[in-house]
Structure 1
Amino acid sequence: KLISIASVSKNEAEAASFLVAEMVSFCDEAFIDKAGNAIGKLGRGELKVFFLGHIDTVPGHIDVEVVDGNLYGRGSVDAKGSFATAVMAAKRLDNEVLDKITLTLIGAVEEEIGSSKGARYVLEAYEQPDLIIIGEPSSFDAITLGYKGRLIVHLEIEKDNFHSAGKDTTAAEDLVESWNILANDAKEYNQKSPKIFEQLQISLQEFNSYSDGLSQRAKAVVGYRLPLDISPSDLKKKIKSLLNCNIEFKSSEIAYRSDRNSKLAGAFRRAIREHGFKPRLKLKTGTSDMNVIASTWKLAMLAYGPGDSALDHRPDEHLNIEEYKKAIAILASALKNL
């Protein structure tokens, strides 16, 4: 049912209402907060745990259907499937577990458009917990310990128009040269490490040029994925020192990596083994609400959820139902192990 409810970013209200109606049946409290997040609270223990998973999706309708044991639909993997896993796992928690932990389920809004409105509201309005689980697909037998940071840069060059037979370079040519400078700088940095999580990834996301007859302009959007040792502020300074054009910095997040030996990671590794599987540890080159939380709260985090993240945003996005069931059981065991 949840996958059948469209919840493209900024349009999550129906999905949030559905989730609250589900959570009210077993939570001590269930409500929609001022940001539009779906909230469920249960337990009375001293250990405060948040499960924060986004319930918004990218656009693109996919018919909801089950084919060969796989549930097709937008958000099945990224990331309503992960939050549904948390809701179902929370239903299984017995009084022994609920005497140890207080669990807050947060179905967060607007993660996919970069505003991360839901997660940022949590930072402002909620007391910091002891541990946070981020709902993102890792596959049922793996946990994600870290995500790279991000920086989006808009570049623009404007100059007087001139005859194409002239010797001057065009705005487009100048901007291509700016791109080459940035790409070469990243290439030089990456020579020190073959591991992609430790590299400075750069991509040219948009490029266009035009003229009105009097002047010519060229614009580009450059995207960076940042390693742990490069902060957005340091990279901004470097870019300004390298380029001579108009520069505007857009969304940015720091990189984050959790301790593989934390209490939280240990609880998941034990749970995965208890269910007969070998735990895997992952580091991802994308970003998530984990990066947003890490900018303010210093605590142990990891991401968990069923599904293959390679299917995120794809037209054939789907979640294997058996994997979903395994993830529910493993998450319930991990919460018990805390």
Structure 2
Amino acid sequence: MKGARELLVRAVSIPSLSGQEGEVAAALRDWMAAHGFDACIDGAGNAVGVRGGGPLTVALLGHMDTVPGHIPVQVDEAGVLHGRGSVDAKGSLCAFLAAVAALPDSALRAARFVCIGATEEEAPSSRGARHAMREHRPDFVLIGEPSGWEGLTLGYKGRLVARVGVTKDNFHSAGEGGSAADDLTAGWQRVREWAAGFGKAEAGIFDRVQATLQEIGSGGDGLTQRAWATIGLRLPPALAPFEAELAVRQAFEAVGGPEHLELTFSGHETAVRHPKDNALTRALRVAIRGEGGTPTFKVKTGTSDMNVVAELWPVPTAAYGPGDSALDHTPGERLDLAEYDRAVAVLTAALTRLVTGSH
């Protein structure tokens, strides 16, 4: 579609850390309003645009916010866009907008297409998605995340973040007993052992627990010593966040007793995995082949707004978008604009086929 690249470059050029998406939301709203959408900014700060008036509803949910880290925005001689958010995930969101703007009248008569540029996906709140899932009732859902233009992502692991604090009276190191740091590291070792032992030994990484020590420290004032840590868990579909929470609590309480322990949990996200054969995935596969690609199915060890909306949107769902997700959050984040163009073409063809049964 004419103007699709300009839309993306403009969006990437506007800084939009989580909670600071107002400027980019206004720019996307104005672009949608100028391209046939009924566009607004909703109560969560999402940029929302609707096209079409048919009986079906297709939600295309991407996110506008990015992680920190300034990358000078430029398109190099090879046609590659460099900039924070180019892959994660303004490329996917802008591909949604450009594809819906290019849909033929037959598709617009068959369905309503609701494009949502969500706020705070990169924050634990997922504010935009949580608001949107209560405002809309779609029949099909596309999540805007990089899958590569030939790829379809069907699932994301769950998540839990544990913040641990151990406090003990100070004692001479020549005496008996363990320090707060001793107890903390012993509890962390138990968590690692539990994570390594969860599930079947031959299971792939998507079906295993991943435990990461994200922060650790200790200190004291001469009377009291304290140790603290932040632990991140990636959870498989077979493990709910509350079950992981219980396992972590038991691991630490077994070491030093609950009277010395402070535990708080956040980021509760349940893993999700959608079926690979339905009307949405079939339409996307046909469209990818039509552009000369070979469709591939993926599951991811991270989380996305797919985890958030699955509970209230139990409908055919896939994540799709251009770019290499290995570049997410990195200093080298960049997107080949030729791949972006292919993704727009795939989406335009797939959405048309999905709601009309033909190109």
TM-score, normalised to structure 2's length?
0.92
Q: Could you tell me how far 1:156 is from its partner in structure 2?
A: 1.1
Contact 1:110–1:116 (8 Å) recurs in 2: yes
Aligned to 1:59: 68
How far apart are residue 240 of structure 1 and its match? 2.6
Amino acid at match of 1:314: T
Runs of 4+ in 1 over 4 A off after TM superposition: none
1:287 aligns with 2:296: no
For structure 2, list consecutive stretches of 5 or more residues without a partner in the other structure: 1-9, 254-260, 355-359
Displacement of 1:296 in angstroms is 2.9
Q: CA deviation at 1:128?
A: 1.4
Determine the structure 2 residue equivalent to 1:166: 175
1:236: Cα distance to partner? 1.6
Greater mean alpha carbon deviation, residues 159-168 or residues 310-319: 159-168
1:48 Cα deviation after fit: 0.5
Q: Deviations over 1:229-266 (max 9, x none)?
A: 10011212222333213221111100000110021111
| Partner residue of 2:132 out of 102, 122, 125 | 122
Question: C-alpha separation between the residues in 1 aligned to 2:200 and 2:295?
Answer: 31
SS of 2:11's equivalent in the other structure is: coil
**How far has the Cα of 1:195 moved from its partner?**
0.6
Q: How does 1:239-258 map to 2 (within 5 A)?
A: 239-244=248-253, 245-258=261-274
Unmatched 5+ stretches in structure 1: none
Q: Which SS does the other structure have where 1:217 is aligned?
A: strand
Task: Say whether the 8 Å CA contact 1:207–1:218 is kept in structure 2.
Answer: yes
Give the conservation status (yes or no) of the 8 Å contact 2:184–2:252: no
**Alignment equivalent of 1:140, drawn from 119, 137, 149:** 149
**In structure 2, C-alpha distance between the alignment counterparts of 1:88 and 1:215, rounded to whole Å:** 59
Q: Which amino acid aligns with 2:329?
A: H
Question: Which whole-Å deviations, capped at 9, do the CAs of 1:183-203 have from their partners, x for residues lacking one?
Answer: 001111154333111111111
Q: What SS does the corresponding residue of 1:2 show, helix, strand or coil?
A: helix
Q: Deviations over 1:296-324 (max 9, x none)?
A: 33122110000000000111110001000
Contact kept in structure 1, 2:138 and 2:313, CA below 8 Å: no
**Percent same amino acid among aligned pairs?**
45
Contact 2:288/2:295 (<8 A) preserved? yes
Aligned to 1:337: 353
Pick aligned residue for 2:285 from 269, 281, 289: 269
SS across alignment from 1:24: helix
Match of 1:202 in 2: 211
Report if aligned partners of 2:45, 2:119 keep a CA contact under 8 Å in 1: yes
Q: Give the Cα–Cα distance (whole angstroms) in 2 for the partners of residues 139 and 28 of structure 1.
A: 27
Q: Distance in 2 between matches of 1:130 and 1:313?
A: 32
Q: How does 1:57-136 map to 2 (within 5 A)?
A: 57-67=66-76, 68-124=78-134, 126-136=135-145
2:331 is aligned, of 304, 307, 315, to 315
Output the TM-score relative to the length of structure 1: 0.97
**How far apart are the structure 2 equivalents of 1:20 and 1:78?**
19
Aligned equivalent of 2:3: none
SS in 2 for 1:104: strand
Instruction: Please tell me whether the aligned partners of residues 253 and 295 of structure 1 are also in contact (alpha carbons under 8 angstroms).
Output: no
Q: Distance in 2 between matches of 1:117 and 1:61?
A: 23
Cα drift, residue 70 of structure 1: 0.8
Q: CA–CA distance in 2 between the matches of 1:148 and 1:5? A: 30
- Shift in Å at residue 177 of structure 1? 0.2
Equivalent residue letter for 1:295: E
Measure, in 2, the Cα distance between the counterparts of 1:164 and 1:296.
55
Q: SS of the residue aligned with 1:295?
A: coil
User: Given that residues 18 and 122 in structure 2 are in contact (C-alpha distance below 8 angstroms), is that contact kept between their aligned partners in structure 1?
Assistant: yes
SS in 2 for 1:337: helix
Q: Distance in 1 between matches of 2:199 and 2:229?
A: 23
Per mean C-alpha deviation after superposition, the further-off stretch among 288-297 and 320-329 is 288-297
The one-letter code of the counterpart of 2:84 is R
Could you tell me whether the CA contact under 8 Å between 1:193 and 1:199 is conserved in 2? no
Report the secondary structure of 2:34's partner residue: coil
The answer for the alignment partner of 1:150 in structure 2 is 159
